[in-house]
Amino acid sequence: MNRIAHSPHAHAPISISKVMVTVMVALIPATLFGFWLYGWPSINLWAVSLIASIGGEALVVSWQGRTVRPVLMDGSGILTAWLLALSLPPFAPWWIAVLGSLFAVVICKQVFGGLGQNVFNPAMAARVMLLISFPLEMTTWISPVPLGSAHAPSLMESLRITFQSHPIDGMASASLLGHVKTEFTRGIGLDQSLVGYYAPWHSLAGDRAGSLGETAAVLLLLGGLYLIARRIITWHAPVAMLLGVAIPALLFNLINSNHYAGPLYHLLSGGVMLGAFFIVTDPVTSPNTTAGQLIFGFGCGLLTWIIRTWGGYPEGVAFAVMLMNAATPIIDYYVKPRIYGRDRKGVALPVGKES
Amino acid sequence: MKLFKLRGGVHPESRKELAADRAIRVLPMPEYLYVPLLQHVGAPAQPNVNVGDKVLKGQLIGASQGVISAPVHAPTSGHIVAVGDYPAAHPSGLTAPTITIKADGEDRWLDTEAVSDPFVLSPDQISARVAAAGIVGLGGATFPSAVKLNLSRKNNVHTLIINGGECEPYITCDDRLMRERAAEIVEGVRLIRYAVGAEVVMVGIEDNKPAALAAMTLAAKNTEVKVIAVPAMYPMGWDKQMIKALTGREVPADGRTADIGVLVHNVATAFAVRDAVRFGRPLVSRLVTVSGGSVIEPANLEVPIGTLVENLFQFCGGFRNKPARMVLGGPMMGIQLASAAVPIVKGSSGVLALTDSEIGNVQPSPCIRCSSCVRACPVGLLPLDMAAHIRAGDSSAAVTLGLKDCVACGCCSFVCPSHIPLVHYFNFAKGELMEQERVKLKQESTKKLAEMRNERIARIERERVEAAAKRKAAREARERAAKEAAAKVVTETA
């Protein structure tokens, strides 16, 4: 009672853990779909990621002499590991998940000073680290093997796949983006390479080879809309990112449709949907202002398209996000809201001027 | 009428239903009243009574002094029992100069000078009556109203805006006033308009008060006063926000509302102006909302200035449970009360006794840069960056980001998912800046004094040397003369 408290003496019913839990709820449909599509190995991978993140964070926080419980309870470490797991090849071995999770929460977050202090999105930085260090494991995709289907690995088989790197026979497949890139190097254009490989409807439904949780475009979109409706994120960065991908794709597709794929192809493949609604909306590593978020999102989309089209890697979301993360402080420096009674430069409006 | 778009703002749970339907009741006169001499922005009033003096209701007990000041009057008849310090409404429980009156129970008014038609008075006379009545901005800003009237006339104000926003949660005293005394308010509004010569008069009322809107619209019928519904949003009652919503114009950052030809007064102020001008009655009571989850029977009370807050709570049946926090004013900008034994002043719109769940008291966690605060800020500031700089001990960087434009409305703290007390940071930094300013002024005046001293010492030294030289010259002249005289004597003798 006698502790001095400052106004306001009321608070919106919101907290960090509520924010994190809401994002996790939004991820559930796409995650469950991924589990179904790729079966037990994907569930193992997801679980290993989360456990490694929780254990790793608990360990480093206790080394720092801080109380572990509140750090773990805010849910940010779990969310990071969850997002990372969704961006991994579903049959990847356990140590990929462990390394990635530890790198994300320890190196990318706690080393920078913990929650809110990291410059780069931990999940994307970890994915980039894994992709550069372990290109084979990170590009071994498999065709969908839904739970209950003939080729689906059983629980015991899945444990061998995840923990003993059991070879995956007859299920390996290229991702759409990877396939197109490989065909290009052989001089084969889109009009041939896409035949039998790409149907927009399949991509929309998520029935394709890809990372654990990034294939179900519709479910990710639903999750994103839920977050917008709950006012956890705003539409600005996601829409800007989708436009950043779609606009150059459309322009170049009109110029040469055999060499440049159309907007739908780009929007529905790879990690664009996951990135647009769950990665570029990461509050910590994105700009503060609405205008800044539009620039940031558009930059992420544009860089993704550039890397996909002209870069060495078939997919570019993670690289694009990291590059724009690095640009966030400078965007925040230049893009600021206008203050009441002042112009955009911060100079007071003229006194005594009648309009 | 078209309203203009506003930036930021929040929608806190209004909680006005606790007291909104409770008609105004008059609080029985307490035995003792504690009337602080500073209840307004500006210089404190100068007491002109002594212990033992008998006073009548409405009698001047503290005279206005200085350009920006306001007098205080006896809220009831009785005699003065103390002129000295008494705890004021401040989180720390600090004391302030206060006059204590023991009521005699007669509540006898001083003979006041009423006028049958206040519109025959000249604008100067109206202004003088408002000044003499000690009226200050009753919305909470407590700026002396007469000063505003004079300033507005000088600046040729063309638009008068009457603020019936009452955007603070829980508070319903303006709502009740508008419902029950609309005609009196409208007369007060017309008097203010007449006094400043404004052409347009608008009363802005939040659309969550339909009964007040209806009553005011009816009362304003066939007058030049236009009643306008504005969307319910905090901080709609911030005068600059109300101006923006109704006129689309912004008050320049370093200016006053008069710079864009606008004068803003609160509805309760307009009511007080009518009382002062028509009946010559000074401001000795006000409406106060008593509310909050801990209060058994929330109410809107007409309270004599100087009544202790605890008397209000007692009148409302006391507490249903021990309040987690008592607040003077609304929950968004009100101040915490360390004790309920402090007096109600002219700017007190409400007293709240809040439960734990109402104040949402949670330990702060790290900032995740979600920028909810940036979206909520009605001013267009970057609360998260300002707080980060202040935390790092760099208040001047926060000033660069616009700290001085912050109005401490509390929107940022309210929405922060990390429960960071952002406004507390800002007020701390503002205090620090004020301290720095004071230190600078002190250093400058010390330096000036030191320079003057050095100059004085040098002058004294110079004068001493000159005087010595003069004395020496005189002595030498004397000696020379003596020598010459001696030589003359010698010559003569020889």
Give me the residue from B251, B360, B369 closest to A288, CB to CB.
B369
Residue B355 contacts A where some CB pair is shorter than 8 Å:
no
| Residues of chain B numbered 396-425 and touching chain A (CB < 8 Å) | 401-402, 405, 408, 410, 413-415, 417-419, 421, 423-424
355 residues of chain A, pLDDT tens digit each: 456 788 999 999 999 999 999 999 999 999 999 999 988 999 999 999 999 999 999 999 999 999 999 889 999 999 999 999 999 999 899 999 999 999 999 999 999 999 999 999 999 999 999 999 999 889 888 888 888 777 788 888 888 888 887 666 656 777 888 888 888 777 787 877 777 667 776 666 667 788 888 888 889 999 999 999 999 999 999 999 999 999 999 999 999 988 898 898 899 888 999 999 999 999 999 999 999 999 999 999 999 999 999 988 888 999 999 999 999 999 999 999 999 999 988 888 887 554 4
pLDDT of residue A242: 97
Q: Examine the fold and report which residue of B251, B285, B304 is the final residue of a domain before the chain moves on.
A: B304
User: 3-state DSSP call for residue A128?
Assistant: helix
Give the pLDDT band of residue B89 (cuts 50, 70, 90). confident
- Start-to-end CA span in chain A (Å): 51
Q: What pLDDT does A1 receive?
A: 43
On average, the pLDDT of chain B sits at 94
Three-point CA angle B99, B36, B282, nearest 5°: 90
Q: CA of B361 to nearest chain A CA: how many angstroms apart?
A: 8
What lies within 8 Å, CB to CB, of B217 at 6+ separation is: B227
Question: What CATH number should be reported for the domain holding residue B249?
Answer: 3.40.50.11540
Contact A101, A84 (CB under 8 A): yes
Whether residue B257 contacts residue A349, with contact meaning beta carbons closer than 8 Å, is answered with no
pLDDT confidence of residue B136: 96
* Percent of chain B at pLDDT exceeding 90: 89
Q: Which residues contact B356 (CB under 8 A, 6 or more apart)?
A: B324
- The Cα–Cα gap between B260 and B283 comes to 29
B475 touches chain A (CB under 8 A): no
* Residue B456 lies inside a defined structural domain of this protein: no
Q: For chain A, what is the radius of gyration of the CA atoms?
A: 22
Position B54 in a domain:
no
Does residue B173 sit within a domain? yes
Collapsing DSSP to helix, strand or coil, A215 comes out as coil
CA distances, A52 to each of A34, A92, A96, A100, B313 (Å)? 20, 15, 11, 9, 55
Q: Does 1.10.3430 match the CATH number of domain A16-334? A: yes
CB A84 within 8 A of CB A35: no
Q: Is the dihedral of CA A12, A15, A16, A18 positive or negative?
A: negative
Q: Are residues B282 and B402 in the same domain?
A: no
B184 in any annotated domain: yes
Tens digit of each residue's pLDDT (9 = 90 or more) over A132-179: 999 988 988 888 888 877 778 888 888 888 888 766 665 677 788 888
Name residue B229's beta-bridge partners: B205
Chain B nearest-CA distance from A110, in A, is 13
Residue B450 lies in a domain: no
Chosen for mutation from B7, B14, B358, B371 (greatest number of chain A CBs closer than 10 Å) is B371
Q: Which residue in B13, B365, B390, B427 has the most chain A C-beta atoms within 10 A of its own C-beta, making it the best mutation to test that interface?
A: B365
A9 touching B (Cβ < 8 Å): yes
Contact B60, B48 (CB under 8 A): yes
Where in chain A are the domains?
Answer: 16-334
| Structure-derived torsion over alpha carbons of residues B148, B149, B155, B157, reported in degrees to the nearest 10 | 110
Q: How confident is the model at residue B165 (pLDDT cuts 50, 70, 90)?
A: very high
Report yes or no on B337 lying in a domain.
no
Q: Which residue is associated with the tokens 């088989």?
A: A157
B-chain CB neighbours of A8 within 8 Å are 331-333, 410, 413-414, 423
- The total domain count for chain B is 2
The pLDDT assigned to B2 comes to 81
* Option in A4, A348, A354 nearest B253 (CB): A348
Q: pLDDT digit string (tens) for B360-411?
A: 878 899 999 999 999 999 999 999 999 999 999 999 999 999 999 999 999 9
Tell me, what DSSP letter sits at residue B467? H
Quick check: helix, strand or coil at residue A57?
helix
Cα B416 to chain centroid distance, Å, stands at: 28
Nearest by CB: A7 against B332, B358, B367: B332
Q: Does B247 touch chain A (CB under 8 A)?
A: no
- According to DSSP, residue A350 is labeled P
What pLDDT was estimated at residue A352?
57
Q: Do B324 and B355 contact (CB within 8 A), yes or no? A: yes
Cis omega (within 30 of 0) on the bond before A8? yes
pTM: 0.89
* End-of-domain residue from the set B284, B304, B324: B304
Q: What is the pLDDT of residue A55?
A: 96
Residues in chain A within 8 Å Cβ distance of B254: 341, 348, 351
Neighbours of B153 (CB within 10 A): 18
Q: Does residue B334 lie in a domain region?
A: no
The C-alpha of B366 sits at a distance from chain A's nearest C-alpha, in angstroms, of 7
DSSP state of B69: B
Query: From CA A233, how far away is CA A239, in angstroms rounded?
Result: 12
Both tokens assigned to B57: 């209701």
Residue-range definition of the domain harbouring residue B124: 16-28+119-304
Instruction: Please indicate, yes or no, whether residues B415 and B282 belong to a single structural domain of this protein.
Output: no
Query: How much is the ipTM here?
Result: 0.89
User: Does B159 map to a domain?
Assistant: yes
Domain boundary among B244, B272, B304: B304
* Contact assessment for residue B166 and residue B209, using Cβ atoms and an 8 Å cutoff: yes
